[in-house]
Amino acid sequence: MEAQVLSGGFTDPAVQSAHAFRSVMEAMARPGTLHAVSGAVPPAPLSAAAGAILLTLCDTDTPVFLAGAADCDAVRSWLAFHTGAPLAGPSHCMFALGTWDGLAPLSAYPIGTAEYPDRSATLIVELPELSTAGSVLTGPGIKDKAALSLPEVQAFQANHALFPLGLDFIFTSGDHVAALPRSSEVG
């Protein structure tokens, strides 16, 4: 087994995952804000932030879909060793990871049911850049308006129209994270 598979996890899992979760929680609670996430050194092409989020949220209970370039041997073995998360197709995953193009089409993912809207996928979208400029966001968690550099607009508007069903998005770039829950209106 390659050494790279075994390394790159949290060195102090309880504390590092607590910090990583707080960043993700703040991001999800305040759409359009950027937060730092660190502690993981995942194999390419994963960003440090995406690696830390996988370690913080995924385990044997959460089927993960690796999309596009993220679906490589290095990532598969790293994820298996550090989280034990089973791999699944888009229609049965709880988390999906990849670039925006790699994750398409969004219609493939579970959006929850009317009685259990929480049974929907969370997409971890790797972006080349992430900034608080671009598409204007309104909704819960946002005081007046916020802005986020989304890869496109229409898909998120269609997703918001499904509320309370829909997908939730976590955006990662380098060691930064932002999020867009289904409750946010993109305008």
Partner 1 sequence: MTDQAYNFAYLDEQTKRMIRRAILKGLAIPGYQVPFASREMPMPYGWGTGGVQVSAAVLTPDDRFKVIDQGADDTTNAVSIRSFFERTAGVATTTVTADASIIQTRHRIPEEPLTEGQVLVYQVPIPEPLRFLEPRESETRKMHALEEYGLMHVKLYEDIARHGHIATSYAYPVKVEGRYVMDPSPIPKFDNPKMGDMAAIQLFGAGREQRIYALPPYTQVISLDFEDHPFEASKANHACGLCGSEDSYLDEVIIDDAGGRMFVCSDTDYCEARQAAGHKGQDAA
Q: Residue 159 interacts with partner 1 (CB under 8 A)?
A: no
Q: Name residue 169's amino acid.
A: F
Q: Which stretch binds partner 1 (CB under 8 A): 15-23, 44-52, 66-74, 101-109?
A: 15-23
Q: Give the C-alpha separation, 32 to 30, whole Å.
A: 6
Q: Residue 181 interacts with partner 1 (CB under 8 A)?
A: yes
Q: Give the C-alpha separation, 180 to 124, whole Å.
A: 10
Number of residues this chain uses to bind partner 1 (CB under 8 A): 39
Q: Give the C-alpha separation, 61 to 59, whole Å.
A: 5
> Residue 150 CB: number of other CB atoms within 10 A?
21
Closest to partner 1 by CB, 6 or 145? 145
**In which residue are the tokens 């209970």 written?**
61
Q: Residue 143 interacts with partner 1 (CB under 8 A)?
A: yes
Mask 103-122, x = binds partner 1 (CB under 8 A)? -----------xxxxx-x-x
Which element (helix H / strand E) includes 186? strand 185-186
Q: Which stretch binds partner 1 (CB under 8 A): 59-67, 102-110, 125-133, 147-155?
A: 59-67
DSSP secondary structure of 155-172: HHHHHHHTTTS--EEEEE
Among 1, 61, 129, 133, binds partner 1 (CB under 8 A): 61
- Give contact residues for partner 1 (rule: CB under 8 A): 13-15, 17-19, 21-22, 24-26, 28-30, 56-59, 61-62, 94, 114-118, 120, 122, 139-143, 163-164, 168, 181-183
